[in-house]
Structure 1
Amino acid sequence: MSLLRFITCGSVDDGKSTLIGRLLYDTRQLHADQLAAVEADSRRRGSDLDLSLLVDGLLAEREQGITIDVAYRYFATEARTFIVADTPGHEQYTRNMVTGASTADAAVILLDARRGVLRQTRRHSHVVALLGIRRVVLAVNKIDLVGYDQKTFEAIAEEYREFAAGIGIAEVECVPVSALDGSNVVARSPRMPWYDGPTMLGWLEGVAVEDDRRSGPFRLVVQWVNRPGPDFRGAAGMVLGGTVRPGDAVRVFPGERETTVARLVTFDGDLAEAGPGESVTVVLADDLDVGRGAVLAAGDPPAVADACQADLIWMGEQEMLPGRRYLAKIGARTVGISMDTPRHRLDVDTGAQLAAKTLGLNEIGLVNVHFDQPVALDPYRANRNLGGFIVIDRMSNATVGAGLVRFPLRRASNLRWQELSVDQAGRERLNGHRGCVVWFTGLSASGKSTIANLVESRLHGEGRHTFLLDGDNVRHGLNKDLGFTDADRVENVRRVGEVAGLMVRAGLIVLVSFISPFRAERALARGIVGAGEFCEVHVDTPLAVAEERDPKGLYAKARRGELPNFTGIDSPYEPPDSPEVRLDTTALSAGEAADAVLSRLRELGVC
């Protein structure tokens, strides 16, 4: 029996939860205790049998009569099994809708027959199209409230079909229904003799979804290496597309190594063929190094690239920061990732492309994405599993975004590191000391630049090769195009981290004096430079002391509202958790602070 995953979405109060409740009720999917509980809840609310209560599980949902979180329900008929996701209609819950739609094969879009096609209807349809759902049924609900009128239904159906065709939804079925009285939901309604199309359930039972994946190229993402003993080794995973048989030629990505399939092993014995949705252990004819996250493929191969263009749906409370390092989970691999400034932001109500420097909660934009190592990619419309990824915040481990690959920007094999005759160790021998980054971080007016300047002067006097990168100085040239938004601060630190990394490879002692307010970017700079070559110095000055010093008058301007996004006033500063050096400038003079830094550098063997 085939499985259909579908979502319901629509405007507020269009009756999504009631429709699902009606499907469960009329197909006799309810246990006696479930029905009794709904009847009791309905009586307490002073209403007739309220079928939406079968789906709305959160207290806030029942109190307000709306859907907030995604609710999944399972039911079956003689023709098919179903998993339905009831998704919220409110704009602020777009991320919840995306979660429900990410695994759906079809979508039920509801609208109120009295109100017709609304902005929310268009927004939901744009999201459905973006997520590659190609089969849609438009449920024109509450048809009873317009007297089961044929002309009203046909006008709405014509308007929606024209709109859907323009955004790439090819297959649309329009059904007039009343979730309240059950008309055309499971059984045909005698009140609408003019309608000769399928019922809602009839469409759901009959819509074809399996052919797309089966007819595509073979793909399997290796979840784990099955090695129960010394004489058996296989790559276990689920077939994501196409079919595979023993004897078929396959390639392993990344690496594009070629081999053939020897066996398809399952707990119940070997298979002659495996198709989409089947979990198997693939035994290869050759002894190749195949680990978790590798992709077995045949036919049209996936691209192997370290950059792509993708539609990004942002789900984090904090805005997306271009240049910041996040993690991405794609297939069974987790890799580092960063995003450029969005090429545009999508207005999901109208489909218009708007200018944007970043993306906020529930916003969708087109971005260039950079992975820190090559990954196997398919376009999302061809393969959701190799074309979709989630974005994870490195510090909180929270999922903050979802990406849909459009196409790779370049194949990773086109770029290689150039081998150089002179390496960092050779330069350090010539200089007579190790290279290192000494990263001074702290509030404005904390004394960073003063202390860094003293440290460099003393190192220079000892004959050390140094360079000081000061925040203000760098903004006169390299970073003159950047402002002081959070996104620009991230890019500011990223660029300086890359420059400092190059200077360390030249064997220099690089002193960096930047506010660098975010832990994530300081961690990025540490990662760029390398372990053992990064010394973080927290110039720990209380805000009140820094504000009292205020040699440039910046705090006064910020307090008057003349300097927005000023660190410590209306933009946060995240102090280091465990810096190599912490300087309390309320207790130390500038000279004593410099002595403390030099002492630590000598302990680290830098000078």
Structure 2
Amino acid sequence: EQDQGITIDTARCFFKTAARDYIIIDAPGHIEFLKNMISGAARAEAALLMIDAKEGVRENSRRHGWILGMLGIRQVVVCVNKMDLVGYSQEAFAAIEKEYREFLAGIGAVSPKAFVPIAALTGENLTERSQAMGWYRGETVLEMLDSFAKQPSKVELPLRLPVQAIYKFTEHGDDRRVIAGRIETGRVKVGDEVVFSPSNKSATIRSIEGFNAAPRASIEAGWSTGFTLSEEIYVTRGEVMSHKAHAPMVGTRFRANLIWLGRTPMTQGRDYKLKLHTTAIPVRIRKLNKVLDASRLDGELAKDHVGRHDVADVVLETAKPIAFDLSAENDGTGRFVIVDGYDVAGGGIIVEAVTDDQDTLRSEARMRDFSWIPGGVTAAERAQRHGHRAALVMFLGKPQVGKHRYARALEKALFADGKHPYLLDGTNVLLGVDHDLSAEATQDELVRRFGEVAYLILNSGAIVVSTTNAIGMADYGAVQALVGGTPSIAVEVDPSGRSTAPCDLRIKGTEPESEVIAKVVALLQQRQVFSG
């Protein structure tokens, strides 16, 4: 670094004042080391942004303004350094302040608390007011630091524990099923009722577990720990544990500020991998609002992709619903990275939830699940009796393509194997709970009622095999939203072979029943529906 005359990697140093202790993260500013700058700034509560008085506002200064805004850092002081090289000129300082404030206001990023003229080499305005710059009447850098507000303790924020793993013990009479993860924020105690999102499954904390640790009744943010629950509910890595009153958002779309560092541009219509807390899921750009280039004064670019070092305002869409928070409210569940192939190619923060086609149904299902009155038999006990968890298999396609034949064959095969299947034909739903609907009834209401009937049967622990002409591939997502975290499989029967709709299995309708049954059973095994 000394040979090159630039900062390459982040460094930390510690000091204290009469007010509090500090950690200073020295982050590089050069564009070639942008990843290091972001990794260094990501954990900061406030920022001192340096501008060279002799060089003025350059590309790096503008880019840093973008990044601080993107990272959600709102407490910022701009230090105009090397004032000795411009003769401690008030006019030079004022010109830089004016230009940079106008730039930041124009992009809607951070609004600096103050601009401070300094000369770090001689300590001017760092800890004591400068005699050479008597025209400056503001606070010193150290006084500015002491005036920054401390962020609220993570313990005082709502509970967030992203599930990292589930461990099942079987030896020496130990039958615990431990859900493990790191508590990002909040606290939890034995006896608390908690909910897991996005599946909406709830239970009560029975015990707090630790390796070779004494039993404890409560635990808080910062700890990696495990829990046993009052009943064995099936949750997976990537779900977020919280209290019901302060659950995270759930959806497939959100607006984000994103910076792209990959060598290959981020393009629309292509899948990437989103890593948010412990979730890893396919994601793509739903809408590219704008692309920003810090090397240009006007900032915004007319581009249909996000290039290297570009900052973008985008709407992202995930393949399935995920649990998240806005970064301003909880950065542990509001910041993400994007993987392209095997490389971390970008990252960003969530700034707004965006409704999708199933948002209303998903909200209704969440309210239903939160208020659900359970019976005396748990889902785990039903699974143990039946040898499998509840699951939904939907045969979809146009009329007269063989959906009903395959559905009946699958039901019979599962039943012969000792499982607990049930064939739910859409015609029976139409003749029953839909009997009161008029001919003008909306398709949405037909789908909603079908999904609620399916959910009731699924709650009994059955494998629901469904076929209907009233519901097509376009409605499958709505049914998924209503059945929550229950494993579901969509089988499309498409004789033409031209369909490109997303599904788990596509057949032409000419395949032997045994072949289709084997493929569906394999998909159920992949989703860990069967016990053992």
Report TM bin, short chain. 0.5 to 0.7
SS in 1 for 2:269: coil
CA shift for structure 1 position 376? 0.5
Call closer, same or farther: CA 1:244–1:175 in 2, change over 3 Å. Answer: farther
CA shift for structure 1 position 528? 6.1
Give the alignment's TM-score, normalised by structure 2.
0.60
Structure 1 position 427 matched with structure 2 position 412: no
Picking from 177, 191, 195, the partner of 1:251 is 195
1:386 aligned residue: 333
Picking from 77, 80, 98, the partner of 2:38 is 98
SS in 2 for 1:123: helix
Task: Specify the code of the residue in structure 2 equivalent to 1:181.
Answer: T
SS in 2 for 1:211: coil
In the alignment, the residues of structure 1 paired with residue 142 and residue 230 of structure 2 have an alpha-carbon distance, to the nearest angstrom, of 47
In the alignment, the residues of structure 2 paired with residue 307 and residue 203 of structure 1 have an alpha-carbon distance, to the nearest angstrom, of 39
CA shift for structure 1 position 127? 1.8
Sequence identity (%): 30
1:121 aligned residue: 61
2:260 aligned residue: 314
Task: Specify the code of the residue in structure 1 equivalent to 2:352.
Answer: F
SS in 1 for 2:402: helix
Structure 1 position 66 matched with structure 2 position 66: no
2:292 aligned residue: 346
Q: How does 1:484-495 map to 2 (within 5 A)?
A: none
Call closer, same or farther: CA 1:157–1:369 in 2, change over 3 Å. Answer: closer
Structure 1 position 300 matched with structure 2 position 246: yes
1:289 aligned residue: 234
Task: Specify the code of the residue in structure 2 equivalent to 1:410.
Answer: T
In the alignment, the residues of structure 2 paired with residue 187 and residue 228 of structure 1 have an alpha-carbon distance, to the nearest angstrom, of 62
SS in 1 for 2:67: helix
Structure 1 position 335 matched with structure 2 position 269: no
Structure 1 position 357 matched with structure 2 position 297: no
CA shift for structure 1 position 135? 1.3
SS in 2 for 1:178: coil
Call closer, same or farther: CA 1:277–1:151 in 2, change over 3 Å. Answer: farther
1:109 aligned residue: 49
SS in 1 for 2:305: coil
- Which shows bigger deviation, 375-384 or 229-238? 229-238
CA shift for structure 1 position 375? 0.7
SS in 1 for 2:63: helix
Residue pair 1:235, 1:282 contacting (<8 A) in 2 also: yes
Call closer, same or farther: CA 1:529–1:276 in 2, change over 3 Å. Answer: closer
Q: For 1:508-559, what per-residue CA distance to the aligned partner results, in whole angstroms no more than 9, with x for missing partners?
A: 456x9xxxxxxxxxxxx899675999xxxxxxxxxxxxxxxxxxxxxxxxxx
1:370 aligned residue: 317
Call closer, same or farther: CA 1:72–1:208 in 2, change over 3 Å. Answer: same
- Which shows bigger deviation, 334-343 or 180-189? 180-189
Residue pair 1:292, 1:333 contacting (<8 A) in 2 also: yes
In the alignment, the residues of structure 2 paired with residue 193 and residue 234 of structure 1 have an alpha-carbon distance, to the nearest angstrom, of 64
CA shift for structure 1 position 419? 5.0
In the alignment, the residues of structure 2 paired with residue 261 and residue 336 of structure 1 have an alpha-carbon distance, to the nearest angstrom, of 32
SS in 1 for 2:222: coil
Task: Specify the code of the residue in structure 2 equivalent to 1:427.
Answer: G
In the alignment, the residues of structure 1 paired with residue 186 and residue 135 of structure 2 have an alpha-carbon distance, to the nearest angstrom, of 42
Picking from 350, 353, 378, the partner of 1:405 is 350
In the alignment, the residues of structure 1 paired with residue 177 and residue 131 of structure 2 have an alpha-carbon distance, to the nearest angstrom, of 62
Q: How does 1:445-460 map to 2 (within 5 A)?
A: none
Question: In angstroms, what is the RMSD of aligned CA positions?
Answer: 4.2
Call closer, same or farther: CA 1:261–1:191 in 2, change over 3 Å. Answer: farther
Q: Which has the larger radius of gyration?
A: 1
Picking from 204, 212, 219, the partner of 2:160 is 219
CA shift for structure 1 position 182? 3.3
In the alignment, the residues of structure 2 paired with residue 507 and residue 419 of structure 1 have an alpha-carbon distance, to the nearest angstrom, of 17
Call closer, same or farther: CA 1:263–1:96 in 2, change over 3 Å. Answer: same
1:507 aligned residue: 495
In the alignment, the residues of structure 2 paired with residue 249 and residue 504 of structure 1 have an alpha-carbon distance, to the nearest angstrom, of 40
Q: For 1:147-205, what per-residue CA distance to the aligned partner results, in whole angstroms no more than 9, with x for missing partners?
A: 44566556655665565566342562433332223334456656556767655455446
Task: Specify the code of the residue in structure 2 equivalent to 1:222.
Answer: V
Residue pair 2:66, 2:109 contacting (<8 A) in 1 also: no
Residue pair 1:424, 1:505 contacting (<8 A) in 2 also: no
2:528 aligned residue: none
CA shift for structure 1 position 110? 0.3
Call closer, same or farther: CA 1:415–1:163 in 2, change over 3 Å. Answer: same
In the alignment, the residues of structure 2 paired with residue 120 and residue 135 of structure 1 have an alpha-carbon distance, to the nearest angstrom, of 19
In the alignment, the residues of structure 2 paired with residue 197 and residue 264 of structure 1 have an alpha-carbon distance, to the nearest angstrom, of 51
- Which shows bigger deviation, 104-113 or 190-199? 190-199
Give the alignment's TM-score, normalised by structure 1.
0.54
In the alignment, the residues of structure 1 paired with residue 131 and residue 205 of structure 2 have an alpha-carbon distance, to the nearest angstrom, of 57
Call closer, same or farther: CA 1:85–1:326 in 2, change over 3 Å. Answer: same
- Structure 1 gap ranges (5+): 1-55, 57-61, 432-501, 513-524, 534-607
Q: How does 1:15-164 map to 2 (within 5 A)?
A: 56=1, 62-67=2-7, 69-77=8-16, 79-82=20-23, 84-90=25-31, 93-148=33-88, 153=93, 156-157=96-97, 160=100, 164=104
Call closer, same or farther: CA 1:398–1:115 in 2, change over 3 Å. Answer: closer
SS in 2 for 1:125: helix
CA shift for structure 1 position 345? 1.1
Q: For 1:16-51, what per-residue CA distance to the aligned partner results, in whole angstroms no more than 9, with x for missing partners?
A: xxxxxxxxxxxxxxxxxxxxxxxxxxxxxxxxxxxx
- Which shows bigger deviation, 332-341 or 213-222? 213-222
Residue pair 1:95, 1:313 contacting (<8 A) in 2 also: no
Structure 1 position 241 matched with structure 2 position 185: yes
Call closer, same or farther: CA 1:507–1:125 in 2, change over 3 Å. Answer: same
Task: Specify the code of the residue in structure 2 equivalent to 1:407.
Answer: E
Task: Specify the code of the residue in structure 1 equivalent to 2:355.
Answer: R
CA shift for structure 1 position 379? 1.9
Q: For 1:325-378, what per-residue CA distance to the aligned partner results, in whole angstroms no more than 9, with x for missing partners?
A: 222111101111222452321233546443321111111222332212211121
Residue pair 1:388, 1:403 contacting (<8 A) in 2 also: yes
Residue pair 2:10, 2:36 contacting (<8 A) in 1 also: no
Task: Specify the code of the residue in structure 2 equivalent to 1:331.
Answer: H
Call closer, same or farther: CA 1:422–1:197 in 2, change over 3 Å. Answer: closer
SS in 2 for 1:133: coil
In the alignment, the residues of structure 2 paired with residue 342 and residue 353 of structure 1 have an alpha-carbon distance, to the nearest angstrom, of 12
2:462 aligned residue: none
In the alignment, the residues of structure 1 paired with residue 118 and residue 393 of structure 2 have an alpha-carbon distance, to the nearest angstrom, of 66
- Structure 2 gap ranges (5+): 363-391, 407-489, 509-532
Picking from 246, 255, 270, the partner of 1:324 is 270
Residue pair 1:253, 1:296 contacting (<8 A) in 2 also: yes
In the alignment, the residues of structure 2 paired with residue 232 and residue 83 of structure 1 have an alpha-carbon distance, to the nearest angstrom, of 44
1:461 aligned residue: none
1:31 aligned residue: none
